[in-house]
Structure 1
Amino acid sequence: MAAGKPSVKLCKGINGLDKVLLREARGSSAEVYLYGGQVTSWKNIHGEEMLFVSSKAFFKPPKAIRGGIPICFPQFGNHGILEQHGFARNRVWRIDTNPPAFPANSASNTFIDLILKPSEEDFKIWPHSYEFRLRVALAPGGDLMLTSRIRNTNTDGKPFSFTFAYHTYFSVSDISEVRVEGLETMDYLDNLKERERFTEQGDAITFESEVHKIYLSTPTKIAILDHEKKRTFVLRKDGLPDAVVWNPWDRKAKALADFGDDEYKYMLCVEAASIEKPITLKPGEEWKGRLELSAVPSSYCSGQLDPQKVLQG
């Protein structure tokens, strides 16, 4: 693909929802819906889609968009009076016209800054004042970077606590041909067994049934190896100690109205998260959580890429 100029465009997406298109000079691209502050597409320089979005996703408020990278805030999961995974993923974000300064060495000039603040309705169900700033950026090499900054702006002196996840849906060729490396020997909470705690036993995580695990105190790098596509996704994360691995498998997939019956075969969620120990911010304090995704050609069966080197590199 011929090189061009980087571009950032606001346009209309599905059902007339506003979205921002990011295109890097070498041809990689991403799209971000203001509804949910949600990345729904990330393509490499060859135009290949890296993220999974269900063909049955609603793209209609108040339902969250099924796929891409939903943001779980101020909670992961389903507890108390807040809706499943919190409310950030089904609120309309605004473009942030006055974002905080980023380090001068931020390599990307292709990015969008979004901001979410509580509405009066939100305040009734979660009575805290905050500013959630999100930067979505494409690096020159096509890597996708998400940086979240959450600040406590309460004027009553009260701290607040939250849990968080980038609920990333990766597009894979066949779930039975995929393995995840970097989580071996880690402790995890099994959501299918009332969050009972176990220790991962396998050399790598492979998939043959439903899985929903929260791995604890995980490395900053995790690799997803797709044997059939000869592609390895590498997640690099900062400020996010936990990692969720989820695939609904066939029975659960059939029960989801916004998910195709067989689509579980073509997706895998590996989520950078902070769940076990909630983050607490006093007024004026800010938390930052960063995720960087890259996709590299690989063929672990022929030894062209040692996944351990990916994780250490």
Structure 2
Amino acid sequence: MSSGVPEKEKETVFVEYSKGVNGLEKVLLREVRGSSAEVYLYGGQVTSWKNEYGEELLFLSSKATFKSPKAIRGGIPICFPQFGTLGSLEQHGFARNRFWRIDQDPLPFPTNSGNKAFIDLILKPSEEDSKIWPHRYEFRLRVTLGPGGDLMLTSRIRNTNTDGKSFTFTFAYHSYLAVTDISEVRVEGLETRDYLDNSKDRERFTEQGDAITFESEVDKVYLGTPTKIAILDHERKRTFVLRKDGLPDAVVWNPWDKKAKAIPDFGDDEYKHMLCVQAACVETPITLKPGEEWRGRQELSAVPSSYCSGQLDPQKVLHGG
């Protein structure tokens, strides 16, 4: 008698726990059609995302150190409670170099119940953290691999202070996308938007081009951005579609040659094969009173650029198709 479950689904181990580089704990998420994602508990960080053909979609530096206290260079580091260096904390905050735990008692997430490949992680302040950022919080992160290979990260941050104090933070999913050749990449969806240029003392400009292309260092925070952004890799004929919710800004970063050489855990020529496009909240920090919760979500999908039917046409993706 058939159980009604497809054979392939019976064989698939959707969530697998193992040890990774330097014995660090990691979780492998797998979907029936063959896509996968790898999440390290160190940093609560996605370090790999592969499509059904086993092609890597995220960039991870060949020089990445999987060792505390250094953050892992590549994948999707979580920047909390600070993005950048504007504040008293280390650059991009401390969530990306802390050890997260599997959340044994996760809150219900409004999610597609068809998703079986997901993991819930939680980060709470240690005594050491409380000295540098004196607030109590619970940061819950769900990483989900959808049946079609989409990668979703949902963050829920709650203020659990008992002293009545609010706290304020900035945030980003620092996504490193793998591209074939940065000079053949364009980003659509940010045209006409204002941005802060970090390479020019955060001076404010308006994006003039009909798309963003790359021929030198870019480090910009685009403000009030749409919920969908498309990153077209012409060489690979692949389009990444980034959808976001609760994150009004978008950071675009590529260090180019001079900066790349100055980054110790980054190969000299690796800037050619990566682009960071990050769903973020930078310009207007989020403030939570005790008991309040914030949610921010990012979804990444990768589709063939040559596939232009309906929703997967980049133009239609961007313009609400």
- Fold conserved (TM > 0.5)? yes
Conservation of the 8 A alpha-carbon contact between 1:299 and 1:305: no
For structure 2, which runs of at least 5 residues remain unmatched after alignment?
1-7
TM-score, length of structure 2 as denominator length: 0.94
Q: Which residue of 2 aligns with 1:260?
A: 267
Give the whole-Å Cα distance in 2 for the aligned partners of 1:184 and 1:133: 33
Question: Which AA in structure 2 matches 1:204?
Answer: A
Q: Does 1:134 align with 2:141?
A: yes
Question: Which AA in structure 2 matches 1:310?
Answer: V
Q: Does 1:96 align with 2:109?
A: no
Give the whole-Å Cα distance in 1 for the aligned partners of 2:111 and 2:307: 36
Equivalent positions of 1:121-270 (< 5 A) are 121-270=128-277
1:30 corresponds to which of 20, 34, 37: 37
Q: 1:107 to 1:291 in 2, by over 3 A?
A: farther
Give the whole-Å Cα distance in 2 for the aligned partners of 1:300 and 1:160: 45
Q: 1:247 to 1:22 in 2, by over 3 A?
A: same
Give the whole-Å Cα distance in 2 for the aligned partners of 1:252 and 1:116: 32
Conservation of the 8 A alpha-carbon contact between 1:227 and 1:300: no
Measured after TM superposition, the shift of residue 105 of structure 1 is 3.5
Conservation of the 8 A alpha-carbon contact between 1:227 and 1:299: no
Give the whole-Å Cα distance in 2 for the aligned partners of 1:300 and 1:38: 31
Q: Does 1:44 align with 2:51?
A: yes
Q: Secondary structure at the match of 1:121?
A: helix
Give the whole-Å Cα distance in 2 for the aligned partners of 1:105 and 1:135: 13
Q: Which residue of 1 aligns with 2:70?
A: 63
Fraction of identical pairs, as percent:
81
2:19 corresponds to which of 12, 17, 22: 12
Question: Which AA in structure 2 matches 1:201?
Answer: Q
Q: Does 1:289 align with 2:296?
A: yes
Measured after TM superposition, the shift of residue 9 of structure 1 is 1.1
TM-score, length of structure 1 as denominator length: 0.96
Q: Secondary structure at the match of 1:80?
A: coil
Give the whole-Å Cα distance in 2 for the aligned partners of 1:74 and 1:33: 19
Question: Which AA in structure 2 matches 1:39?
Answer: V
Q: Secondary structure at the match of 2:115?
A: coil
Deviates most, 99-108 or 140-149: 99-108
Q: Which residue of 1 aligns with 2:5?
A: none
Give the whole-Å Cα distance in 2 for the aligned partners of 1:37 and 1:160: 22
Count of residues paired in the alignment? 310
Deviations 1:39-59 (A, max 9, x none): 000000100000000000011
Q: Does 1:82 align with 2:89?
A: yes
Give the whole-Å Cα distance in 1 for the aligned partners of 2:132 and 2:70: 18
1:116 corresponds to which of 123, 134, 156: 123
Measured after TM superposition, the shift of residue 10 of structure 1 is 1.2
Conservation of the 8 A alpha-carbon contact between 2:303 and 2:312: no
Q: Secondary structure at the match of 1:291?
A: strand
